[in-house]
Each structure stands twice: as C-alpha cells, then as structure tokens.
Amino acid sequence: MSTSNTELPSVSIIAPVYNAEKEVDKLLDSLMNLEYPQDLLEIIIVDNKSTDNTSEIIKKYPVKRLDENEIQSSYAARNKGIKYANGYLLVFIDSDCIASSKWLNEGIKLFSDGADLVGGKVEFYFSEKETAAEMYDSMTNMQVEHNIRDRKVAKTANLFVRSSLFDEIGMFPDNVTSGGDVQWTARATRAGYKLVYAPEAVVKHPTRKLKELLKKQYRVGKGKMKALNSEDRDSDKKSLLKSLFPKIADIKNLINERGNKGMNKKLLRVWCVAFLCNVATGFGILAISLSNLKKGK
C-alpha cells in the first residue's frame, strides 16, 4: 500500500464471507495490494457461520475479523461490519471478487463531485471451458452501469457509500438472502441521494456454472417476493408466468449488447440456461408464497 495522503478520506472495506475457503485468499491478496494509504484503511471481514477453513485463512492476514452468528444472511454480516467500521467511506466487496490495485482511488474520486454512493464496474472472467451458463451469467448479473442508469440501484459486490447514510436511512434489510442491496440503494436514491457509476473502479468476479447460477436465481426469486407487498406479489407472479419462456430474439439482442460474437454459436444453449433460470426464480417465488400462506399473509 502507498504512503499517507491527508487529502484522502478514511475507508473501511467490508466483506461478508461464508464457506469461502476456495476464494477468500484471492480477495485478501488483492486488498493487500491496493494503492491506498494504509493508515487511512481498515479491512473488515465478517464470517457468517462458516463451517470450513475460511476462519483459519483470514487469520493469516492483517484484517479485522468479526462474526455474525445470529442471522444467516450476507446483509446481516454487512450490517455487523458497518457497526464496527470507522471509515468516512464504507466500501463493500464480495468474497469471490478480486479488486484491482486502483479500485479504491477510482471510486473515491467521484465523491468530490457530490456523489453519495458509487457503484464500480464488475468484470466477469470465465473458466477455461466457457459454458453457456457462464455466458448468460456474465450478460445478466451485476450489470452495474445499466442498473444505475435505468433503475438507480447498485450491488454490494462493488459499492462505495458515505457512512452517514446508514444513520440517515437505516441498515441493509437482513431478512433476505438476495436483493437486499438493491432494496437499500433504491431507498437511498428515492430519498434524493446521488448514485453514480465508476467504470474505472474495477473488481473481477468469476462467472457461475449452471448449478451455482440456478441457486442464485432461486435466491433472487425469494428475495424479490420478500421485498414486495401482497398486491405487488400477485402482479409479479403473473408477470413471471408470462415471461417464463424467453424469446430467442431477446437472447440475440442480449448477446449483441453485452456479449461477444462467439456466444451466438451457443445461442440455443444460452436460451436453455435463460429458461432454467426463470424456472429457478419461479421456484424461489413459490417457496415464499407457500411460506406466506402458512403464516396467513
């Protein structure tokens, strides 16, 4: 890390981890090589009830390690980190991400222009065998620029926030396993806080294979339903049924806009992945719907 610079703000990086023994060392190695003054930086890793060797790996690094053992949710883990953070800016990253050396510097620049929240770029990298699931994942998930421009929301895989915002609008919702960051950033932008995109503040994220991707979409379905009121839930379920079968033309447009020409060779496979993801999301919605029926909601 570089030497001190009093013009820069103090920063707390917060990363939740859960059974991350295969990836957390890559994250921590990248955070050890950030071009940012060490005396202005603290790194907080919050273990969310890991049962593997994650804790032992974290102990090898000069970071603040916390435990969130009450609630199984990455957002509860992030909230725990927020409570113990000292930085003027809080910066969030996921356990399977790798930060570029200039990541912090590039994101922080935009706060001097009046930003309250900054979403950085998430670059996907593929396995040696680039599967259709990986292709679809790279084109549909963590589209930060699109989400900020069109939806005014961002993801905690790469998010910078003025710490005072959590005092002003509250913490992340901790009763969801997916979508809590979208809910929270939407709340912030609706309240008038400025969210901007930082294309040079880059973290890299591995693409998901089919099994991991379907698990994520199942969580997405559950998270969406938990965030909606009863009327919106009914509308969302009907909308999902109508869009269960994706259109080939839409997949082609997706590839043209966010993919590469080589992906057209696997167009039908990508379509199949899109269909399976819709089904997985539907099962997530169904799971929450059945749970709500049992509770009489």
Neighbours of 189 (CB within 10 A): 17
181 in Cβ contact with 154 (< 8 Å): yes
Residue 1 pLDDT > 60: no
Q: Does 6 score more than 70 pLDDT?
A: no
pTM exceeds cut of 0.85: yes
Q: What's the average model confidence in pLDDT over 160-167?
A: 97
The percent of residues above 90 in pLDDT, for the chain, comes to: 78
What pLDDT, on a 0 to 100 scale, did the predictor assign at position 222?
84
Q: Is the pLDDT of residue 189 over 50?
A: yes
Amino acid found at 117: L
Give the per-residue SS3 of the chain: CCCCCCCCCCEEEEEEECCCCCCHHHHHHHHHCCCCCHHHEEEEEEECCCCCCHHHHHCCCCCEEEECCCCCCHHHHHHHHHHHCCCCEEEEECCCCEECCCHHHHHHHHHHHCCCEEEEEEEEECCCCCCHHHHHHHHHCCCHHHHHHHHCCCCCCEEEEECHHHHHHCCCCCCCCCCHHHHHHHHHHHCCCCEEEEEEEEEEEECCCHHHHHHHHHHHHHHHHHHCCHHHHHHHHHHHHHCCCCCHHHHHHHHHHHCCHHHHHHHHHHHHHHHHHHHHHHHHHHHHHHHHHHHCC
| Cβ-contact 97, 204 below 8 angstroms | yes
Which of the pair, 171 or 295, is modelled with greater confidence? 171
Q: What is the pLDDT of residues 234-275, one digit of tens each?
A: 545 555 555 678 899 999 999 999 998 889 999 999 999 999
What is the token pair recorded at 243? 């869009």
The pLDDT tens digits of the residues spanning 7-26 come to 899 999 999 999 999 999 99
Per-chain mean pLDDT for the chain? 91
Domain ranges for the chain, please list them: 11-206, 210-295
Confidence of residue 60 (pLDDT cuts 50, 70, 90): very high
List all residues 6 or more positions away from 296 whose beta carbon is below 8 Å from its beta carbon.
none
Is 3.30.1360.170 the CATH classification of the domain at 11-206?
A: no
Cβ pair 12, 90 in contact under 8 A: yes
* Residue from 226, 237, 205 nearest 288 by CA: 226
pLDDT of residue 198: 97
**pLDDT surpasses 60 at 168:** yes
Residue 133 has pLDDT above 90, yes or no: yes
Output the pLDDT for position 232.
Answer: 46
